[in-house]
Structure 1
C-alpha cells in the first residue's frame, strides 16, 4: 500500500497511524471489529515506529521525520515502554510521520532515519 501511495506522491506524505510500542522494526497483527474505521477483513496491524520509518524509506522516501512535539491529544502523548502495547489505559497509541522526497529543515521535526537505516544505494 505504501508503494502505491508513494507512486502518486511527488513531494511530502503525512501519515498518522496506530503503532505498537517497540524500538525494533516489527509489526503486530490484531483482530479488529469489522467496522468502517478499522481493517476491512477484521485483521489489523500495529507497526512499530521503526517499522513505519523503514517502510516509508523503502517505498521511496529518503527522508522520514516525526514532530518533535506530538499532537496535543492523549493518544499521541504516552510513555514509551518498549512493551509491544498498542493500547494503554484504554487509548490507542498513535504517531505522526512526515515522509519527504527532499530534506526538510524545520525545528519542529526530528529525523527518524540514521545513516545506517537508510535504503542502500543501488
Structure 2
C-alpha cells in the first residue's frame, strides 16, 4: 500500500501550503512565496499566508487572527502575543505556546486517550 498525502483540517482559509502534509510525518518545509522554513508536524502546524508566520496548533493560529478597526481581518504580531497570559516562543521556525511540565504533559496524554 502506498503512502497517501492528506490535506489537513484547516482552522482558517489563511493557512497555506497544504501540499506538504502527510499523515504521521514530521519534516522540514518551506513556503515558496516568503522563503520561511519550519518543522512541519502533521496537521498541527499552520503557516499564515497573510503575515507569513507559522504557528504550532490551531488555537495559536486562530488567536493571532483578529478583526481590525475597519472590520477587515488582520494578524497580531506573535512577538507581542500572549497565550493564557504567557508570551509565545519561537522554536524551529514555529511560534508555540508555553512549555508544559512533564507532569502536565503526562496528564494531558492520559486524559486524551
TM-score, length of structure 1 as denominator length: 0.23
Q: Answer 1 or 2: higher relative contact order, Cα 8 Å, separation at least 6.
A: 1
TM-score, length of structure 2 as denominator length: 0.24
